[in-house]
Structure 1
Amino acid sequence: MIKQKILQKTFHGFGAEIYDLWWPEGSVSGDEQFYKELLKKQGGNSLEIGCGTGRILIPFLKENFELDGLDYSNDMLNICRDKLNKYNLNAALYQSPMQDFKIPKKYNNIYVPFHSFMIVSDRNQALRSLICFFEHLKQNGQLIISLFIPNYQALALYTEDQDKWRHCKEINLKDGKKVVISDMVINFHLEQIKQVRYRFEIFDSGRLIDTHIQEMKIRWYFQYEFQLMLESVGFKNITAYGDFTFEPLKNYHREMTFQSFKP
């Protein structure tokens, strides 16, 4: 019997369980090495926002970075805690939304990898997140935030097929079952919001036995819009890099990472 579909928040429940198979270490080309170089140059302790199951946090801890993690999904953090125990690593993990957290210490670095900042879809809450980051940085502390660059061709494609499921990926589980991941995207251009539903269909010997549906909203940004947001909070010396390289942002890049400092 196929279980009833349940709409959940993304990165909770089943979405957390298969995250490491969905986005394994090394799946985002170049981002780990890029963050590593920025953190090494700045030095000191760091806080990873949206640490999830530890895709970046665990390898960095293995290289002796002084690092803590924060995520709003306790399901993801529980998996990360299991990894800390498995590898005998130490890090404080905090369960909180990024727009409203309070940690009793400050950091030399705060970084927000892999579009995690964009999950805060409300503009005022996004600004509140930047204020939280500012408050938790030491003087001359570094903030690093990665965002995708809006792709007009992709936005137009999704606009035409907004009511259709699109195949994303297939994952083979250890027990022999297969998970087929699809997404359905609705773009709200004036609000710069992308609403995404992910469908996880679980097959056993070719027979569909379960389906999970999860939803998230993502706010996209443009370069100078985001720079103004950082400036409004008080950040200085703002630089935008392209595609997890130290090349200044260009039209052909698909990812942008902002580096800024608390004076």
Structure 2
Amino acid sequence: MARQHCGTGGRILDIGCGTGRILLQLLRNGYQADGLDISAQMLSLTKAKLQAANLETALYQGDMRTLDSLGLTVKYHLVIIPYASMIYMLEDSDRLAVFRGVYNLLEHGGILAFDFDAGQNEIGISKPWISLQAIDKDQGRSILRIAQMHGISPNLRCIAQITWLNTENQGKIVVSCEEESSISAPHMQELLAQAGFSVTKMAGDYHGQPYSGGELCLITARADH
């Protein structure tokens, strides 16, 4: 996608960059890419990774619903919102705020690309499941996460999670509860149109197969300035 929409000279903004997994890969491949995340802790980890890899770029802390308030003067050819981060936008007003902010950051004809949950929830409480088992080499710890979902409505759910973080010398338990949303693909397309975008592709997987229903939907949309 970066090669298709940016070539070698375009600039990319990674919204919700987290600890920089995608951002660093873009930089290593020679792209001009900046990162934005709401979490100062995540950005601190990204900065450490950049330094270790002898890479430099701009990192911004902020909410993707208030991009205009960051005062960015750079224009981008491609903005990505990976990891289904749009699930945390619970209302249409939140989604429109994101899209309009991104629109203002894009060059004429620039592209927004993101994935999201287009499915519907089962109402009620699910059985717990193991949602993550991993080794975090960057922080030298193992992670085990148990999750349980409460389907509040077809398009709103609450995810309760218990996470065990184990290092060589100590362990830590983190309990969290987050609301997540889903939205149908046609409705997401309508919101993009309201913000000035034209959808150029809707895919149902990360290989670019056309979207034909289901939970995973990936959209690319062009800013029609």
| TM > 0.5 | yes
Corresponding residue number in structure 1 for 2:149: 185
Alignment of 1:60 onto 2:26: yes
Alignment of 1:220 onto 2:172: no
For residues 102 and 74 of structure 2, what CA distance do their matches in structure 1 show?
12
Corresponding residue number in structure 2 for 1:260: 221
Report the structure, 1 or 2, having the larger strand content.
2
For residues 36 and 140 of structure 2, what CA distance do their matches in structure 1 show?
33
Corresponding residue number in structure 1 for 2:209: 247
Alignment of 1:77 onto 2:39: no
Q: Which amino acid is the alignment partner of residue 102 of structure 2?
A: F
Cα distance change of structure 1 residues 60 and 42 upon mapping to structure 2, 3 Å threshold: closer
Corresponding residue number in structure 2 for 1:107: 76
Q: CA deviation at 1:223?
A: 1.1
Corresponding residue number in structure 2 for 1:234: 196
Q: Secondary structure at the match of 1:217?
A: strand
Q: 1:48 aligns with which of 3, 8, 14?
A: 14
Judge which range, 176-185 or 65-74, deviates more.
Answer: 176-185
Q: Which amino acid is the alignment partner of residue 193 of structure 1?
A: L
Cα distance change of structure 1 residues 109 and 182 upon mapping to structure 2, 3 Å threshold: same
Q: CA deviation at 1:173?
A: 6.5
Corresponding residue number in structure 2 for 1:13: none
Deviations 1:32-70 (A, max 9, x none): xxx444444596111011001011111110011110010
Cα distance change of structure 1 residues 38 and 216 upon mapping to structure 2, 3 Å threshold: farther
Corresponding residue number in structure 2 for 1:92: 58
TM-score between the two structures when normalised by the length of structure 1? 0.74
For residues 108 and 96 of structure 1, what CA distance do their matches in structure 2 show?
20
Corresponding residue number in structure 1 for 2:112: 143
Q: Secondary structure at the match of 1:132?
A: helix
For residues 136 and 221 of structure 2, what CA distance do their matches in structure 1 show?
41
**Contact preservation (8 Å) 2:8, 2:31:** no
- Long gaps (5+) in structure 1: 1-34
Cα distance change of structure 1 residues 161 and 109 upon mapping to structure 2, 3 Å threshold: same
For residues 51 and 176 of structure 1, what CA distance do their matches in structure 2 show?
21
Deviations 1:159-205 (A, max 9, x none): 4534x532223345679975421012112225x11211221135689
For residues 71 and 166 of structure 1, what CA distance do their matches in structure 2 show?
28
For residues 109 and 130 of structure 1, what CA distance do their matches in structure 2 show?
13
Q: CA deviation at 1:245?
A: 2.1
Q: Secondary structure at the match of 1:99?
A: helix
For residues 256 and 42 of structure 1, what CA distance do their matches in structure 2 show?
27
**Contact preservation (8 Å) 1:58, 1:84:** yes
For residues 173 and 69 of structure 1, what CA distance do their matches in structure 2 show?
21
How many residues are aligned here? 219
Identity of aligned residues (%): 21
Q: Which amino acid is the alignment partner of residue 112 of structure 1?
A: I
For residues 140 and 93 of structure 1, what CA distance do their matches in structure 2 show?
24
Q: Which amino acid is the alignment partner of residue 182 of structure 1?
A: I
Cα distance change of structure 1 residues 55 and 204 upon mapping to structure 2, 3 Å threshold: closer
TM-score between the two structures when normalised by the length of structure 2? 0.86
Deviations 1:204-250 (A, max 9, x none): 89xx9542112222211111010000001111243211201232212
Q: Which amino acid is the alignment partner of residue 89 of structure 2?
A: V
Q: Secondary structure at the match of 2:54?
A: coil
- Two-structure CA RMSD over aligned residues (Å): 2.6
Corresponding residue number in structure 1 for 2:128: 165
